[in-house]
Amino acid sequence: MEILLLGTGSADGWPNPFCRCASCRSAATRVRGQTAALVDDVLLLDCGPEAPRAAMRWQRSLSQVRHILFTHGHPDHVGPAALLMRHWTGAVEQLDVVGPPSALEQCRDWVGPDDPVRFVTVQAGERIRVGDYDVRVLAAAHGADIGGDAVLYDLESQDARIFWATDTGPLPEETYAAVTGAGYGAVFLEETFGTYTEHGTEHLDFPAFAATVGRLRDCGAVTDTTDVVAVHLSHHNPPESELTAVLSDSGARPGRDGEVVRVGAAAGRATRTLVLGGARSGKSAHAEALLAVEPAVTYLATGGVREGDPEWVERVRQHRSRRPRSWRTVETVDVAEELRSASDAVLLDCLGTWLTARMDRHHVWDGGDGMNAVSADIDELVSAWRACPAPVVAVSNEVGSGVVPPTASGRLFRDLLGVLNTQIAAASDEVVLMVAGRPLSLPAD
C-alpha cells in the first residue's frame, strides 16, 4: 500500500496565512496544507477543498480515484467541488463516496443525475468493502457541532493495514477495543495543538497524543514496526526540530506534505531516488522527508569539517537538527562501500561535495593527470548506487542552468558533476528537481 500525504496541516494549515507567530515564521519554507491522503492512486482519505490541487502539486492525477472516504463534515475535510470537477471530465467509472451523514449531505447536490457515483452512508461499528479494500468504520471523539457523527477508518488491503485517525480527541474505549491486536503498518494520528493544552476542543495536544499512542501500543494496534505519523498539525506546535524531538519520545514523527509512506509489500521495495536542485531550493529537506518513514537511516555526510568556517558549522548544525535521533551519521567521502553494504536506508548528501573531495584527492584542479582516477571513482560510485540493497536517496546540485563558470577549474567541476548527475539519474527509479521548495518529478523519457 502506498499512501501519498496530500496535506498534513490543520484546517488553517501550517503556517496560518494570516499569522506571523514564531511557529508560523519557522514553517514558512515547509508549508502544510489541509490533511488528506491518496492511497494507491485509487482511494482518497478525506478530500477537502485543497486536496485536488495538492495532488497536482505532487505530480499525481486523480483520474484513477474510485473511492473517497470522508471522516466528517468539517469544511477542511469535505470539498464537494471535487465531484463537479470529475463530472466535467465525463467520467464513466463508478466512484464510491463513503462517509457519515454530515459529510455526504454536502456532496449530493454536486453530482449530476447520471453521474456514476454511489453514496455509502456509514457509522462507527460498520464494515464495508470498497474495491480492493476492507474498511472498518471506527468511532471518533469529534464534531459535536456537526451531530457528533465523525468517524475514523481502519483500511486493509491484501498486504497492508493502516489506521486513519483524524480528527479526534482521546479515542473512545470502543475504538481501542476494535483495534486491539491490529498491528498496523502505519497509523496517521492527528496532533493539532502541540504545547497548547487549554484548547478545550476534541483534538489532540502533546500529552494527549503521547497517551493515545501509549494506549495503542498497549492494545497491540501499534507495534515496534508501526510507522506512527502525526498529521493535522497547526501553528500551536513548536518549530520542526523541536516537534520531531517531542514526537520521537512516543516513537512517532511529523508527517510532511508530499511524503509517500509505503506499507506492506510496497515497503520492501529498494528504491533509488536522485534529488536535484540549486542553492537553497529545499533539496536536502525534501530528501530527508522521503526517508522519514524509515525506522533507521544512515546519513552519508560528504561535506566534512571545515576548520575556521563558522558559517559552514552553522549549516551542518541546522541539517543535524532536522534529522530524527534514530539516524546514524557517517562523515566520509568513501561512500561506495557504505552503499554496497547498507542494511538501513541511506541518504547521501551530497554528490557535489563528494566530487569536490575526489578532485582534491587526485589533484585535478590545476591540470594534474588525475582525471582517469576521478572517472574511475565516478564509475565505482554509480556501480555501488545500482547495487545498494536498501532504499537510497542522493542529493546533488543541478549545474546545467547557471552561468558558465569564469575559471577553467569551475568549468571542469560543472562538466564532471553534470556527467555524474546524468549517470546517477539513469540508474535511479525516481529523479526529482527542486525549484523554490517545490518538487518536480522528472520523467524517464
User: Considering the chain, what is the average pLDDT of its residues?
Assistant: 90
216 & 362 share domain: no
Active site residues: 319
Q: What is the band of 319 on the pLDDT scale with cuts at 50, 70, 90?
A: low
419 & 286 share domain: yes
Which CATH number covers residue 365?
A: 3.40.50.300
175 & 309 share domain: no
Please report, rounded to a whole number, the percentage of residues in the chain having pLDDT higher than 70.
93
311 & 241 share domain: no
Cell of 443: 520523467
173 & 44 share domain: yes
Q: In the chain, how many domains are there?
A: 2
283 & 425 share domain: yes
Hey, how many other C-beta atoms are within 10 angstroms of the C-beta on 52? 20
> Residue 443 pLDDT > 90, yes or no?
no
User: What pLDDT is recorded for position 137?
Assistant: 98
User: What pLDDT is recorded for position 303?
Assistant: 63
Which residues, at least 6 apart from 427, have a Cβ–Cβ distance to it below 8 Å? 272, 382, 385, 386
b or e along 255-269 (b: 16 or more beta carbons within 10 Å of the residue's beta carbon)? bbbbbbbbbbebbee
Where a domain ends, among 246, 264, 282? 264
190 & 298 share domain: no
What would the pLDDT profile of 87-141 be if each residue is shown by its tens digit?
A: 999 999 999 999 999 999 999 999 999 999 999 999 999 999 999 999 999 999 9
User: What pLDDT is recorded for position 28?
Assistant: 85
| Helix, strand, or coil (residue 111) | coil
327 & 397 share domain: yes
Where a domain ends, among 206, 239, 264? 264
164 & 242 share domain: yes
> Residue 313 pLDDT > 60, yes or no?
no
Instruction: Report angle CA 431, 53, 25 to the nearest 5 degrees.
Output: 80
**Global confidence as pTM:** 0.71
DSSP 184-231: -SEEEEE---TT-----SSS--HHHHHHHHHHHHHTTSS-TT-EEEEE
The residue segments making up the domain with residue 223 are 2-264
What would the pLDDT profile of 241-292 be if each residue is shown by its tens digit?
A: 899 999 999 999 999 898 888 898 777 666 899 999 988 888 988 998 888 8
What would the pLDDT profile of 388-431 be if each residue is shown by its tens digit?
A: 888 999 999 998 776 777 787 888 899 999 999 999 998 888 89
Which CATH number covers residue 209?
A: 3.60.15.10
Are the C-beta atoms of residues 66 and 92 closer than 8 Å to each other? no
User: What pLDDT is recorded for position 302?
Assistant: 85
21 & 148 share domain: yes
113 & 243 share domain: yes
User: What pLDDT is recorded for position 204?
Assistant: 98
Where a domain ends, among 223, 243, 264? 264
* For range 167-192, the mean pLDDT: 97
34 & 119 share domain: yes
Q: What is the band of 318 on the pLDDT scale with cuts at 50, 70, 90?
A: low
Q: What is the band of 315 on the pLDDT scale with cuts at 50, 70, 90?
A: low
Q: Rounded to whole angstroms, how far apart are CA atoms 147 and 172?
A: 16
What would the pLDDT profile of 59-75 be if each residue is shown by its tens digit?
A: 788 999 999 999 999 99
